[in-house]
Structure 1
């Protein structure tokens, strides 16, 4: 069995979405300085690094991250599609429609744009000029009954320089205003720049923090 890590480690150099505060890691005690143990204080916005958007992020009636059962973060029918996009471009319904047969029956859709390749080499561009999904893409994805989550190789599913589309996408995909309670989780800032042709199962495990909308996640695959 082969496992691939799809999440990035959280660190002080983690790119942050346009205008968000950076990650701060402070050593609180140090063996090297004579303390009995090492210990750190980690301060971060809960949307820095690889994380999962739960419904309450944009849906005032939606679930918080700690209210979602752990089984809902295990996916047995993941599908990977390639939709190349560059700075500030939007993924629309028209981009997704050619993959309708692959998406149907999937419980997790991983959208690989290729933008993740610049995460380390050009973090400012990665953070401030990311592609994103449009409102039309969200409306289209919501028609697939089996789909429970999408994951993307961008810092956010919302394009930093298309704020109206970013808000609309998140509101629709996270179920705002729906009476049936349907929503699709959004996994952001994934490392999809690797061979994913043989994956059969994906675990996207959040840190359960009470009272918050979303949380950091460790995401890995099995083939």
Structure 2
């Protein structure tokens, strides 16, 4: 079965959302320096790279990342593609196969932005109206291919609407080489106790037979992966 790695490799080269701390990976001990093993220290934000936003992100009493039901993070997912717009609302979504979908991943032109070394402020986002529509049709997890599902000028309304209804947000996906269609999603976060978010390793299995995605190489370190 074909496996698509839709996770961004964590590195100091990876853009972060404005205001978040940068990713820093530095040697702690090094064989090259005469130590017996290589050990590195990692400093990063809970919302670095490919990550989950649980309700705790915007609500101090909300469900934390370590208590998200695992069966929500593993299962059938629908990838839809929406291009030529920066605002994804009801009009864009209602024409797509999203009704009855529990896990929805939205592929946009954002996936091409991972080629940029700096954060790009002009990216495609879900609107408040779009969030209301996803609530209406019963989506339980929604993902998008940039570091936020909401505009950088947003008030937080999109996050609030989704998270208050228990809809988990999966951000920072790389869907550049993934064709629209039905897949199996597996996206398991770091088990951060009472966490407001956590990086995940997200993969898709299966999908349309016409996709040209190359076979998954677990040993590749090329960035970005898709």
TMscore range, shorter length: 0.7 to 0.9
Q: Is the 8 A contact 2:78 2:181 kept in 1?
A: no
How far apart, in 2, do the equivalents of 1:163 and 1:94 lie?
A: 19
How far apart, in 2, do the equivalents of 1:49 and 1:125 lie?
A: 12
Q: Give the 3-state SS of the residue equivalent to 2:40 in structure 1.
A: strand
Q: Equivalent residues in 2 for 1:1-223 (5 A)?
A: 1-76=1-76, 78-85=77-84, 89-99=86-96, 102-120=97-115, 122-126=116-120, 128-145=121-138, 147-160=139-152, 162-164=153-155, 167-175=156-164, 182-197=165-180, 199-223=182-206
- The structural deviation recorded for 1:85 is 4.5
- For structure 2, the residue ranges without an aligned partner over 5 or more in a row are 207-226
> Scaled by the length of structure 1, what TM-score is found?
0.87
Aligned length: 206
Q: Give the 3-state SS of the residue equivalent to 1:98 in structure 2.
A: coil
How far apart, in 2, do the equivalents of 1:62 and 1:91 lie?
A: 26
How far apart, in 2, do the equivalents of 1:199 and 1:90 lie?
A: 23
> Scaled by the length of structure 2, what TM-score is found?
0.85
